[in-house]
Structure 1
Amino acid sequence: MMNKRIFERIYDVVVVGSGMAGFSAATRLHHQGYAVLLIGPRGDLVWEAGRCFCADAGESERAQWRDLHQAVSDRGGVQHGWMDGAITEVVATNQLVEMKMPVLYYAHPVAVEREQASADGPVIGLIVATKAGLRRVVGRRWIDATEDGFMLQRLSRASQRREAKVGRTWMYFQSEQWQNTPLKPTAWPTERYLATEMPLPSDRWEHLREQLVGLDDSARQAVMSHCSVEPLPIYDSVQTRDETLASLNVACASASYSGDPMDTLASRFDLGGRAADAVLSLPEADASSDAIRRPISEIEPEAVIDADVAVVGAGTGGTIAAITAASRGVKTVCLEPHAFAGGIGAGGGIHYYYYGVPGGFQQQLDERVRDFMAAVGKPLYSGAFHPEAKKVVLNQMLREAEVDLRCGSLVYGVECKAGRVVSLLMATTAGPVKVRCKAVVDGTGDGDVAAMAGADFTLGRAVDGQLHAYSQSSGKLREQQRHGVVMQLVNFDAGWCDPTDPEDLTRARVQGIQQYLLDRYDNLERPTYIAPAIGLRQGRQIKTDYILQLDDLIQRRSFEDRIGYTGCHYDNHAVDFEFESDEALFWIWLCRNWRTPMACEISYRMLLPRGLDNVWLASRCVGVSQDAHHAMRMQRDMQRIGEASGYAAALSSQHGLASRAVPLDQLQRQLEASGALTPPEGKEPPIFGKVLDFDSLDDVAVNRQLELALDEMDRGVPGKSMWWLYRNESKIGEQVRQRLDHDDPKVSWIAAGICALWRENRAEPRLIEAIRQREYGYDGSWKSAHAHGLEGFEPLKNLRLVPNWLAAICMLRHCGSSRCVDALRDLAEVPGHALVTRTSLALAIEALASRGEIDAATAQPIFDALRRGPITAERGIPARYNGALAESALRGQSFDTPLPSNPGTDIIWNSTQDYRWQLEFAVARARTALGLEPHAEALALLEDERTPVRHAMRRLVSRSGIDPAMADQR
């Protein structure tokens, strides 16, 4: 029987709230043998430590507290009543993983369900809002560890809730020399902190701005590395009150319902421990599988608000959309799950620009951030933009535009009429709320609103559904000669996930944080903070009126409905290009073009989901193909489309127009006025990051006549010229085919690659020769201005390059026949191959099978060989050197992956994971193409903990005609 997922189980106790109290209660009950689920609305376990950076640890006699405190102390993160917030979050996360406790993040409570037999009976279910809509969690007993007591408020205890009048915040500074400072020390020699208080409720980011402007002289000589994302509510003691609902089955671990003072980490931890003890004396709900399967009833909103424009997601693009829409005078509400606006740059740890095109409204934003940083001075030095500076400035701009920003809000449903979204349903800490609106901007990143409204979409690459690798970034320190100890980010590929699935997103968050676990930290080798926002590079790609293609970027396409420019390179974080599209594999492994710059105009139609009349996209879900998305997804791109979406939504709501009826001339005039439509010239240095050398993208320079492309081919030079030849078969095809027999192997190789993509069978002999001769293809003569990795120009030194023999295997998928089977079989029989060689061979067999060029009897020995013996690089980091691993294994040599040049190298090795599933999956695809059932090891993937793996296998099993529910019985 397949393993049950989170929402298919019944728990002994469900703990709602992932702060110190919730963590304490959940771990205590788990150690006593109970089946416990811990739920949190964001991915911020023990948020009082890792988000507030509370410096007051306090004391507790509870065993779980001592375990946590000691584990942090053993790693260097404790001194004089202070615990390092980032390390505490990492250690606590690791403890949950070691306990194998189920956790569900990104789940916002919406409604409490009691046993159907009695309206006053015990709680049996909790309805939570997720990115995938409403879900039900079923439990026998409950602990409410939410800050505001969400469950308790709905169980007739609202009168006992107390308000925190004051919130405490902390700012952390770094300096090599501290003299006569009132700032307090931590366990780290360069670090001091400043604690302040602010009234609640009040604006956190305005308070931070005032703090930064008013810093004393000692703090002004240091760099602020991190600070509280939100204030910690401080509660004084009140008259003792009962912390349980004796007639029900809910215990209280909510600080706002407790009678004790709550001003330290330990005091909150103790609150959770008491709740764990108390809940066991409460009655149990009579939970059964019927409660799991019961349909979720419609939930009445507890409040209704009206707006002209609703922007969902105050991320990189959504915040800009909200500001620009409101600047047109329309009533704008902006809904955001996190406690801040700004997305990945403000809260995801990526506080610099990686390419994209400057200009437009974002230029004004960047200038204001730069000016604010300059006004504060050294505390906001970061080398690019300081994330806290961007939060402060965005907050100011939202206030100035009179945007109604509602943080802590997650949209879980929409109401549509005739292709228009008329209202949104969102979860808040105060309960479910309906937002009625005229126009909607989807800034969710994953196209949640568009998908809920019925828009069609794709999710991941075609072969296996895999998306871009995600990152779990953090802060770090480094020593700089001029500025001393300064802040720096850590950004590396942590793994893969399906961000539309709350369970898989939780898994990715947990694993990403756990990767920061080290036996010991020191001042420079430690995370100063764990980024609150997980670094998701891709989710859904909504199908829009126009979908940008890779060829548009390479050929620098223009559009009459242009709204701006995009420019980058093919920044795909995958290295397993055997699973990518035909054109992607050709562009990278044959043309060797990963770092080649590309740019084009952005079409307004890319923002318009098909079938919806009042929705615009302002996030990475914009209308781009899987291949084009690798370049058109940068922060500048998102800010550019955010500006256009905001203006267009405002025009729509003001004049009652559908999205496609918005006057394009008016929209473009607004964008011209802001500078968004000013062609990039590269004359002025950009603010905060890289831009392309646009001179290199001049039409005259790149769109060479085909004769010049042939000239490059005759010199054996791979590159963009190969793309021009590939795209012009009707004009140049015969001349390319003539070079298949060229005396220079570099020329015939290029010709074979192009002809293979044309599915020209005359390319097959040259590809077979490359495999038979184990052709490496790199003799030192080829140089590229766009090398990557170790700036090397061959597979052994560059993680984006592969030897010719490996590329040839993949190209045979397009033009191979039965003539190539012997070469593939002989190569498969060589022992010790790297994983990439085996998967490439399996996918080639699949292609041959689909064309009837190989039968099952011939293929089976190849499958056996591929799955036999030790597999080189079965495990590794996501950014592994596939070409080097394949070549070294074929030579019978070992290959040690070079250390990346970016910081956090010790942590990067913690991202090592198992890739064996790719081989089983690829072999199963080939077996299916031959009419065979997937083998047992492949069917086992239906129970893999990773959603993308399960889904890939489930789609394959469905095509094979096997009932997925019965697959595990075979």
Structure 2
Amino acid sequence: MFLSRLNGGRAERIPAEARFDEKFDVIVAGFGTAGAIAAITAAEHGVRVAAVEKLNMAGGTATAGGVWGYYYGLPGGRFEAVDAEVDALRRDHFTSDGAFHPDLKGICLEQAFLKRGGALFYESAVTGVWLDEDRQAVLGVRMVTPDGVRDCGCSVLIDATGDGQAAAIAGAAFAEGRESDGKCQPFSSIRAFRRGGGIGLSNFDAGYMKCSDPADLTRGILASNSLHAKSPGEPQDELYWITRLPGLREGRLVECDETLRFAEFMAGKLPPGRALGWGYSNFDSHTQDWALNDRPIRDWMVAASLWGKEFAVPLTLGMLTVRGFANLLVAGRALSVDHLMAGLLRMQRCMQKTGEIAGRAAALSVQANCSVREIDSEALAAELRTSGCLDATLLPPCTFPEMPDVLEELLRGPKPGMAIWQASRNLDRYRGLLLKLLSGSDRHAAANAALALGLAGDEAALPELRRLVREGDDFLPASSRSHNQRRILAAVDLLGRFGCPEDAELLLEKLHSAGEDVQLFTHLLRSLLELGGGLPEFRQRIRQAVSARLDAPDFHCDLLLKNSSHNGQKVFAPLHGSLKQLAEKTYQSWEHRR
């Protein structure tokens, strides 16, 4: 037997002989949004379950984290009965501004689990995972509890920590953050205060932190908590509390048998496994520093301005079954998706559905004495249909326009985003239309056609894209209900992809005159660095121009983060470090290309 622990960020396996203090059929690490439903579902299906929770209450982000309502997600599943019980108690005893009362939800989750004989370890954490000799099957966990260290055996382990902590301890592979600087989405910070006779919430984005780094996590929590104190002399809220959990939107994304990636999803390629539920939302990224993000995000959010476009996406068992392990599942926001898909599949209803799928799959695995990959998928799907977790009748239509005349009307209007995307992804069909608009007298339609052609990599877009940059085209589309991006930013981003010397000259000229326009400056910098990859003769000039800005003693580049409520709270993220990191990584890549 081997005990796997995280040591300096790496999994260290230590040969040992273990005697388990107690054995369970299923252990759930985390009794939060997904974990509580996973533990309840497994216990209700007749297996012995233990849940390990670092807080002293159930529900995680939905309760202790202050997110007391739902944003998108499809109804249906085990959580609905919990919410109904919560609502009945609330009507009798409390008032609440959200979709549910957080304390009551915590109580109802806890009682539902305990009534089924579940063992609940509060203020406890998994610190090690026992593996078999082949290191492919989990035998149990080591956890620190208020009563000391305990080693508990299990047949199935469900990681519902939110950050993939138990899976990482076991040695599972994972991705984390974006390519440029490793940052995940910003986190939010929430305070509850007296508002009239009820409770008010202030929810704002508070910065970035790396969830897998304890020091950075601590720094982020302390720094964000301090933001709730107003300046002396300002009217102070009658503060009830600052939530115990930071509002983490993304952390480790664990590698499972199947991964849902944005590019494949948009191409119609879905995970091969059976859908056992669906997530539903827009790609709700709270990122504002778009130039630092991976190219697919820039395509979607900047070139097409489609932040608000909604999709329904399947949840499969393969997306929850950790690769390389026979009996390790993940539930919650650490499921197997890429950085952009994580913004769509982190909503509470979706998280609760992943918990139900994992809990029921774990119980079936125990009862059939087989690995989670060998369970009867028909039986699993049938039970999830019965609970309402799997209900195809609820799926909303999520389509793009296809008729050329409809696309032309959109490209001539204020909401061109879907037409830009659709035309760029089907260039063979729509290139004629785009070229017609590009050469026509309607310069607005020509500009949008150029964005579509540029997204498709068609050089016919270049003259118009250059015009947009030279003239500083600040048209702001209305393609999404919010977070649309100026057309000049899209043009700058696209010009960084073609490798043309003329574009390097143009963007270098614009860099010198970008002034205090943070978005324009960062997009210019990103595109120049990308152009330098294919234009060795420009590298020295690009490096000098970029360094002249980044290394200037008085340089600062702070970006206002996306606020989650209209509370007047303004938090700025310094971008200097990330821009320097991106530049240095790019320079190193140039050296390797020589």
| 1:666 alignment counterpart | 379
1:728 to 426, 431, 434: 426
The whole-number CA distance in structure 2 between the counterparts of 1:523 and 1:309 is: 50
| 1:411 alignment counterpart | 126
1:599 equivalent to 2:312? Answer yes
Q: Bigger shift: 706-715 or 439-448?
A: 706-715
DSSP-derived class of the 2:27 partner = strand
Contact 2:205 2:564 in 1 (8 A): no
Report the CA distance between 1:828 and its aligned residue. 1.5
Contact 2:288 2:559 in 1 (8 A): no
Counting only pairs closer than 5 Å after superposition, residues 22-41 of structure 1 correspond to structure 2 as: none
Normalised to the residue count of structure 2, the TM-score between the two structures is 0.91
The whole-number CA distance in structure 2 between the counterparts of 1:812 and 1:405 is: 56
| 1:472 alignment counterpart | 189
Report the CA distance between 1:297 and its aligned residue. 8.4
Report the CA distance between 1:836 and its aligned residue. 2.9
| 2:352 alignment counterpart | 639
The whole-number CA distance in structure 2 between the counterparts of 1:324 and 1:877 is: 42
Change (3 A) 1:296 1:540: closer
1:919 to 565, 579, 585: 579
The whole-number CA distance in structure 2 between the counterparts of 1:839 and 1:926 is: 14
| 2:202 alignment counterpart | 490
Counting only pairs closer than 5 Å after superposition, residues 133-148 of structure 1 correspond to structure 2 as: 133=6
DSSP-derived class of the 1:338 partner = coil
The whole-number CA distance in structure 1 between the counterparts of 2:339 and 2:537 is: 30
1:504 equivalent to 2:216? Answer yes
1:818 to 501, 508, 512: 501
1:318 equivalent to 2:30? Answer no
DSSP-derived class of the 1:488 partner = strand
Give the aligned residue type for 1:394.
Answer: L
DSSP-derived class of the 2:349 partner = helix
> What does the per-residue CA deviation read over 1:712-746, in whole Å, with 9 as the maximum and x for residues that have no partner?
45524412232222222344445445544343222
| 1:755 alignment counterpart | 453
Contact 1:314 1:342 in 2 (8 A): yes
Report the CA distance between 1:328 and its aligned residue. 0.8
1:765 equivalent to 2:488? Answer no
Contact 1:336 1:407 in 2 (8 A): yes
Change (3 A) 1:555 1:858: closer
1:531 equivalent to 2:265? Answer no
Change (3 A) 1:736 1:348: same
> What does the per-residue CA deviation read over 1:553-594, in whole Å, with 9 as the maximum and x for residues that have no partner?
668987761111211112101011112222221222222221
| 2:443 alignment counterpart | 745
Change (3 A) 1:524 1:838: closer
Change (3 A) 1:744 1:929: farther
1:828 equivalent to 2:545? Answer no
Report the CA distance between 1:308 and its aligned residue. 0.5
Report the CA distance between 1:770 and its aligned residue. 0.9
Where does the alignment leave 5 or more consecutive residues of structure 2 unmatched?
Answer: none
The whole-number CA distance in structure 1 between the counterparts of 2:156 and 2:552 is: 59
Counting only pairs closer than 5 Å after superposition, residues 307-456 of structure 1 correspond to structure 2 as: 307-376=24-93, 379-417=94-132, 418=134, 419-456=136-173
Give the aligned residue type for 2:34.
Answer: G
Contact 1:595 1:787 in 2 (8 A): yes
Change (3 A) 1:625 1:709: farther
> What does the per-residue CA deviation read over 1:311-330, in whole Å, with 9 as the maximum and x for residues that have no partner?
11111001100000011100
| 1:857 alignment counterpart | 540
1:844 to 527, 540, 545: 527
Change (3 A) 1:660 1:579: same
Contact 1:317 1:638 in 2 (8 A): yes
Where does the alignment leave 5 or more consecutive residues of structure 1 unmatched?
Answer: 1-128, 137-294, 480-484, 682-693, 789-799, 880-899, 932-958, 962-970
Change (3 A) 1:313 1:901: closer
Contact 2:259 2:338 in 1 (8 A): yes
Contact 2:140 2:157 in 1 (8 A): no
Contact 1:616 1:645 in 2 (8 A): yes
Change (3 A) 1:671 1:708: farther
The whole-number CA distance in structure 2 between the counterparts of 1:853 and 1:713 is: 40
1:585 equivalent to 2:298? Answer yes
Change (3 A) 1:646 1:917: same
1:698 to 377, 397, 418: 397
How many matched pairs?
586
1:711 to 408, 422, 426: 408
The whole-number CA distance in structure 2 between the counterparts of 1:330 and 1:709 is: 55
Contact 1:321 1:642 in 2 (8 A): yes
DSSP-derived class of the 2:239 partner = coil
The whole-number CA distance in structure 2 between the counterparts of 1:521 and 1:399 is: 48
> What does the per-residue CA deviation read over 1:133-172, in whole Å, with 9 as the maximum and x for residues that have no partner?
3679xxxxxxxxxxxxxxxxxxxxxxxxxxxxxxxxxxxx
Give the aligned residue type for 1:581.
Answer: D
Contact 2:289 2:559 in 1 (8 A): no
Contact 1:313 1:319 in 2 (8 A): yes
The whole-number CA distance in structure 2 between the counterparts of 1:625 and 1:296 is: 28
The whole-number CA distance in structure 2 between the counterparts of 1:300 and 1:525 is: 55
Give the aligned residue type for 1:764.
Answer: L
> What does the per-residue CA deviation read over 1:163-197, in whole Å, with 9 as the maximum and x for residues that have no partner?
xxxxxxxxxxxxxxxxxxxxxxxxxxxxxxxxxxx
The whole-number CA distance in structure 2 between the counterparts of 1:737 and 1:440 is: 56
DSSP-derived class of the 1:545 partner = coil
The whole-number CA distance in structure 2 between the counterparts of 1:705 and 1:846 is: 36
Change (3 A) 1:589 1:872: farther
Report the CA distance between 1:614 and its aligned residue. 0.8
> What does the per-residue CA deviation read over 1:200-243, in whole Å, with 9 as the maximum and x for residues that have no partner?
xxxxxxxxxxxxxxxxxxxxxxxxxxxxxxxxxxxxxxxxxxxx
* Aligned CA-pair RMSD: 3.0
DSSP-derived class of the 1:855 partner = helix
Report the CA distance between 1:960 and its aligned residue. 11
Contact 1:672 1:678 in 2 (8 A): yes
Q: Bigger shift: 347-356 or 833-842?
A: 833-842
Give the aligned residue type for 2:174.
Answer: F
DSSP-derived class of the 2:468 partner = helix
Report the CA distance between 1:334 and its aligned residue. 0.6
Report the CA distance between 1:864 and its aligned residue. 4.7
Give the aligned residue type for 1:918.
Answer: S
| 2:256 alignment counterpart | 544
The whole-number CA distance in structure 2 between the counterparts of 1:916 and 1:442 is: 35
Report the CA distance between 1:838 and its aligned residue. 2.6
Change (3 A) 1:390 1:722: same
DSSP-derived class of the 2:315 partner = strand
Contact 2:282 2:307 in 1 (8 A): yes
Higher relative contact order (CA 8 A, sep 6+): 2
Change (3 A) 1:659 1:737: farther
Contact 1:828 1:866 in 2 (8 A): no
Normalised to the residue count of structure 1, the TM-score between the two structures is 0.57
2:549 to 866, 874, 882: 866
Aligned-pair identity in percent equals 27
| 1:261 alignment counterpart | none
| 2:328 alignment counterpart | 615
The whole-number CA distance in structure 1 between the counterparts of 2:78 and 2:533 is: 51
The whole-number CA distance in structure 1 between the counterparts of 2:86 and 2:554 is: 50
Change (3 A) 1:705 1:509: same
> What does the per-residue CA deviation read over 1:285-337, in whole Å, with 9 as the maximum and x for residues that have no partner?
xxxxxxxxxx9988988961100011111110011000000111001111111
Counting only pairs closer than 5 Å after superposition, residues 551-562 of structure 1 correspond to structure 2 as: 561-562=274-275
Change (3 A) 1:386 1:132: farther
